[in-house]
Amino acid sequence: MHQFIQNSKSENQIFDVKKIRQDFPILNTKVHGKPLVYLDNAATSQKPKVVIDAIQKYYESQNSNVHRGVHFLSDSATNSYEEARDKIKNFINAKSSKEVIYVRGTTEAINLVAHTFVKPKLNEGDNVIVSLMEHHANIVPWQIVCDEKKAKIKIIPINEFGELKVEEVNNLIDEKTKFISLVHISNSLGTINPIKKVIELAHKNNIPILIDGAQSVCHSKIDVQDLGCDFFVFSGHKICAPTGIGILYGKEKLLEAMPPYQGGGDMILQVTFEKTIYNDLPYKFEAGTPNIAGAIGLGVAVEYLQNLGYENINTQESKLLNYATEKFSKLENVRIIGTSKNKASIVSFVMADIHAHDVGTILDQEGVAVRAGHHCTQPVMDYFKIAGTARASFSFYNTLEEVDILEDAVKKGIKIFLG
> How many chain residues bind ligand C6P (CB under 6 A)?
17
Q: Which stretch binds ligand C6P (CB under 6 A): 63-71, 81-89, 161-169, 210-218?
A: 210-218
Among candidates 42, 31, 34, 46, which has minimal Cα distance to 347? 42
Q: Please, are residues 387 and 359 in contact by the beta-carbon 8 Å criterion?
A: no
Q: Please, are residues 135 and 183 in contact by the beta-carbon 8 Å criterion?
A: yes
* Positions in 137-176 near ligand C6P (CB under 6 A): 137-138
**Least separation in angstroms between CB 364 and ligand C6P:** 16
Q: Which stretch binds ligand C6P (CB under 6 A): 134-142, 273-281, 355-363, 410-418?
A: 134-142
Question: Judged by CB under 6 A, does residue 375 bind ligand C6P?
Answer: yes
Nearer to ligand C6P, 138 or 177 (CB): 138
Buried b (16+ CB within 10 A) or exposed e, 84-123: bbebbbebbebeeebbbbbbbbbbbbbbbbbbbbbbeebe
Among candidates 357, 333, 347, 345, which has minimal Cα distance to 418? 333
Question: Judged by CB under 6 A, does residue 241 bind ligand C6P?
Answer: no
Q: Which stretch binds ligand C6P (CB under 6 A): 12-20, 91-99, 208-216, 217-225?
A: 208-216
Binding to ligand C6P by CB under 6 A, coded x per residue (else -) over 98-127, reads -------xxx--------------------
Say how far apart CA 254 and CA 320 lie, in whole Å: 40
Question: Judged by CB under 6 A, does residue 187 bind ligand C6P?
Answer: yes
Say how far apart CA 268 and CA 304 lie, in whole Å: 34
Number of C-beta neighbours around residue 335 at 10 A: 16
Question: Judged by CB under 6 A, does residue 214 bind ligand C6P?
Answer: yes
* 146 has catalytic annotation: no
Question: Judged by CB under 6 A, does residue 46 bind ligand C6P?
Answer: no
Nearer to ligand C6P, 43 or 201 (CB): 43
Binder of ligand C6P out of 305, 376, 381, 410 (CB under 6 A): 376
Question: Judged by CB under 6 A, does residue 42 bind ligand C6P?
Answer: yes
Among candidates 231, 189, 220, which has minimal Cα distance to 376? 189
Question: Judged by CB under 6 A, does residue 235 bind ligand C6P?
Answer: yes
Q: Please, are residues 46 and 38 in contact by the beta-carbon 8 Å criterion?
A: yes
Establish how many alpha carbons lie within 13 A of residue 159's alpha carbon, considering only the half-sphere containing its beta carbon.
11
Say how far apart CA 58 and CA 284 lie, in whole Å: 25
Nearer to ligand C6P, 178 or 184 (CB): 184
Say how far apart CA 309 and CA 337 lie, in whole Å: 29
Q: List the catalytic residue out of 146, 218, 229, 376.
A: 376
Say how far apart CA 368 and CA 47 lie, in whole Å: 18
Q: Which stretch binds ligand C6P (CB under 6 A): 18-26, 149-157, 350-358, 371-379?
A: 371-379
**Least separation in angstroms between CB 353 and ligand C6P:** 23
Nearer to ligand C6P, 116 or 186 (CB): 186
Say how far apart CA 315 and CA 135 lie, in whole Å: 26
Q: Please, are residues 247 and 236 in contact by the beta-carbon 8 Å criterion?
A: yes
Say how far apart CA 3 and CA 16 lie, in whole Å: 10
- Tell me which DSSP letter residue 221 carries: -
**Least separation in angstroms between CB 18 and ligand C6P:** 27
Question: Judged by CB under 6 A, does residue 135 bind ligand C6P?
Answer: yes
Q: Which stretch binds ligand C6P (CB under 6 A): 91-99, 130-138, 253-261, 401-409?
A: 130-138
Question: Judged by CB under 6 A, does residue 360 bind ligand C6P?
Answer: no
Say how far apart CA 69 and CA 13 lie, in whole Å: 47
Question: Judged by CB under 6 A, does residue 43 bind ligand C6P?
Answer: yes
Q: Which residues contact 149 (CB under 8 A, 6 or more apart)?
A: 119, 122, 123, 124, 126
Q: What residues act catalytically?
A: 376
Residues that bind ligand C6P (CB under 6 A): 42-43, 105-107, 135, 137-138, 183, 187, 212, 214-215, 235, 371, 375-376
